[in-house]
Chain A
């Protein structure tokens, strides 16, 4: 466990030091959300209806942009090989990196989201659901993203390929996240959608480390 946490701490430190890798993702998130009323029009009724889905899409895109931080940088300077030689199991490595990634992208985005929801005319009680849905769903984005990043780590300029591979995998998380906000908006119970989002996250946490580790091993061979 300590090895896992140490690796996570290292990744967080790197993310913060390198000119805020996470901060850029959050900035992008906010920017896209700000573009929504500009694009959709500022009428509160229209904004409210699309806010949940669009905030979630902004979150997806922001996470996608930051995924190359997971393995690519370490792969390029050779430290990934060093990490793979360490006594820490590769699955734990993946978990540690995904955790660090979430702490520097998903978590800040979740914390900022109530503000964005306000901007997009979401009523107060819905803001809570929005924040909860992001809190539950963004870890899945980091975990699933880790699988895609591990698969494409050897591909030069693999960013676009990574997006194409990962976006279909993000669909369940997106659906449950956006739908929970929508449910709250029409005074339906958001808990089923939130719970199912949680299930997706748990399944990702169970499967992603193994899939990503397998991909890393294949790429290292």
Chain B
């Protein structure tokens, strides 16, 4: 479907003209928080790996 078709489909999805806005809000929120979670969790994993490496070097 073209972009215009998508827009029209989403607009009517809840039966009135606000559909696109509702979907946009949910998508933005979930994507935004998902991205944040991804960054936070991967930064944590990286920090843990780095700490393990340093601990190993120390005990060597």
Query: In the complex, A touching B, CB below 8 Å?
Result: no
A contact set with B: CB distance below 8 Å: none
